[in-house]
Structure 1
Amino acid sequence: MDLKLFGEVFVTLLVITDPPGMVPIFLALTGTLPARDRIRAGTQAVALALGVIVVFAVAGQTLLDYLHVDLPALQGAGGLLLILISLELLTGKQDDPNQQVTSNIALVPLGTPLLAGPGAIVATMLFVQQADGVAEYMAIAVGIVAVMVAVWLTLRFSGVIVKILRPGGIEVLTRIAGLLLAAIAVQLIADAVAAFVADYAAR
């Protein structure tokens, strides 16, 4: 296995997924859930993110070409989705937590587009396109799994923060997370628009 490439993949994806930065958003979405449901949501989110990243690593470019979708379009769609979630967090208009909601939270927005977002997808696709040989492909695969394990551990033990903050703190954290999520969404959309402009200007 190529250890240098493993390190590059691990560090790149770890910075993009940003596990510490995910904690406030994760707690804002799951802080009112029982500990068992919160852990399940974290596990489902990481599993989905891993699946999405692997699919795009293997057949991402082919899939996008078949659908006639450019990466900036994927990025813009992710930004619009995050804006909807951030508005719910900022206004407090969320459904009562139950089993179905837990699954929904795990899939959207935690699994995608927060963990398996445009940044992680594009980075993985580039690594795969540049790889040559079994050793390098294995390094990429192990790097992706290692990052997902790190993210899962971070979310798994975020319950300690819930005990410290209590309901009042979670409420404040929810509003802050909504603002941060809105900022991330606006940045995604802005980057997508800039990419579209640059693409069409070059034609």
Structure 2
Amino acid sequence: MTASLLALFSSAFVTFLVIVDPPGNAPIFAGLTRDASAADRRRMAIRAAIVAWFILLFFAFLGEPLLDALGISLAAFRIAGGIMLFIIALDMVFEKRTERRENRAHEIEGTPEAEDVSVFPMAIPMIAGPGTIAAIMLYMAEATTFAERMVITGAMTLTILITMIALLAAGPLMKLMGAKLEAMITRLLGVILAALASQFVIDGIAAALISELQTL
């Protein structure tokens, strides 16, 4: 792997890891599946990861044609995606994101959906949520070669694998981490995501300005 591809992989991997936030998903999954058997928890964790992977793969390769069909420029999508990611980052820093996740979990407790949480709410929207979809579409829109697309797909796949492992180890992980450590990690990741989101906005504005200057 060349230095440029390695840098792309690192950037994409950190972005996906921060947005998906496996340590943040683990306690929600543990709470939703606390009455399930160990076998059922494993099945739901694996299914959630697979469903989320296919959703992100769909948007990775069909997201750009969708933008073209809607008449949306890549620069506009970079700016919109960056703003969305920045809002998510703020929520993470101020712990609003965890609160919303817990609210979603409480909403489906005691309902038939609580029997299998793999598709909703775990795969959608907790793993393959709007932020993750926007991020992978942004990276794919900027990729110019097949190798770059495979690197981005690999970074996303590795993130999903780590998330699946976190879900499988949700119970023991929560006992090991504790609420305070989880909150600290979430806030740190939020700061990193805010910086990455700002870069997306800057790149989008620069691309829009260049495009306008070229038309003059």
Does the 8 Å CA contact 2:5/2:151 hold for their aligned counterparts? yes
- Give ranges in structure 1 of 5+ residues lacking alignment: 132-136
Does the 8 Å CA contact 1:53/1:121 hold for their aligned counterparts? yes
RMSD (CA atoms)? 4.1
Report how far residue 72 of structure 1 moved: 0.8
Structure 2 vs 1, CA of residues 90 and 72 (structure 1 numbering), >3 Å: closer, same or farther? Answer: same
CA offsets, 1:60-95, max 9 Å, x none?
65256x146441122212333554574041588523
Amino acid at match of 2:65: A
Does the 8 Å CA contact 2:52/2:127 hold for their aligned counterparts? yes
Match of 1:175 among 172, 178, 183: 183
- TM-score (normalised: structure 1): 0.63
Distance (whole Å) between structure 1 residues aligned to residue 174 and residue 48 of structure 2: 19
Distance (whole Å) between structure 2 residues aligned to residue 144 and residue 201 of structure 1: 26
Match of 1:153 among 145, 149, 161: 161
* Alignment of structure 1 residues 58-97 onto 2, 5 Å: 58-59=64-65, 62-63=68-69, 66-67=71-72, 69-81=76-88, 83-84=90-91, 86-89=95-98, 93-94=102-103, 95-96=105-106
User: Share of identical aligned residues, percent?
Assistant: 13
In structure 1, the residue matched to 2:32 is 33
Does the 8 Å CA contact 2:8/2:151 hold for their aligned counterparts? no
In structure 2, the residue matched to 1:127 is 143
- TM-score (normalised: structure 2): 0.60
Report how far residue 33 of structure 1 moved: 3.3
Tell me, what secondary structure is at the counterpart of 1:157? Answer: helix
Does the 8 Å CA contact 1:49/1:116 hold for their aligned counterparts? yes
Number of aligned residue pairs: 188
